[in-house]
Structure 1
Amino acid sequence: MSENLKSESDIRQRYQTTVPQDIREKMGLEIGDSLLWSYDKEQDEIRIIKKPKSFSDSLWELGSLLNKDGLDTTK
């Protein structure tokens, strides 16, 4: 079962915002980490994810997860 955290923050005068503490702690965010922002026009939704330190490591982990679920990743 997935856990959903919902928090809010304000956009300040120079368009800055603070990542709420419960989200920072759950994601293990630290000073110097980068966030990736995307906008889904169809859902009118902003998505923010922690930028991986290494994209190749993240893709390798994703491939392992797909393979663990019995999906054929050789096609």
Structure 2
Amino acid sequence: MMDHALRLESEIKQRYQTTIPKDIREKAKLDIGDELIWKYDELRDEIIIIRKPIKFSEAFWGLGRKLWEKETADEYVNKEREGWE
């Protein structure tokens, strides 16, 4: 399986600043003024950085649509209720 992730390094400088590597800036089409969201996952000891969407509603549009391809919301609720005894 081919991994499509770029893995590059940058150093944390004296004032806790770092530079986003050029290859990542270009692939992600980052520009001056773009905002990033930083998250620390304690369980995996990982820092996750994503570009902050301009509009969260547009970024999340259709996110869960594949969950409902095989059944409707009503069918799912009815199936869950059958197990309530």
Q: Same fold, TM exceeding 0.5?
A: yes
The higher relative CO (CA closer than 8 Å, separation ≥ 6) is in 1
Residue 59 (structure 1) shift: 1.2
TM-score (norm: length of structure 1): 0.82
CA–CA distance in structure 2, aligned partners of residues 2 and 24 of structure 1: 18
2:68 is paired with a residue of what secondary structure? coil
Alpha-carbon deviation of 1:28?
0.7
> What is the match of residue 72 of structure 1?
68
Return structure 1 stretches of 4+ with deviation > 3 angstroms. Answer: none
Instruction: Return 5+ residue gaps in structure 2 as ranges.
Output: 74-85
CA RMSD across the alignment:
1.8
Higher-Rg structure is 2
2:21 aligned with 1:24, yes or no?
A: no
Would you say how many aligned residue pairs link Structure 1 and Structure 2?
A: 70
SS of the aligned residue for 2:47 comes to strand
Separation of aligned partners in 2, 1:9 and 1:48? 14
C-alpha separation in 2, matches of 1:30 and 1:38? 20
Output the TM-score relative to the length of structure 2. Answer: 0.73
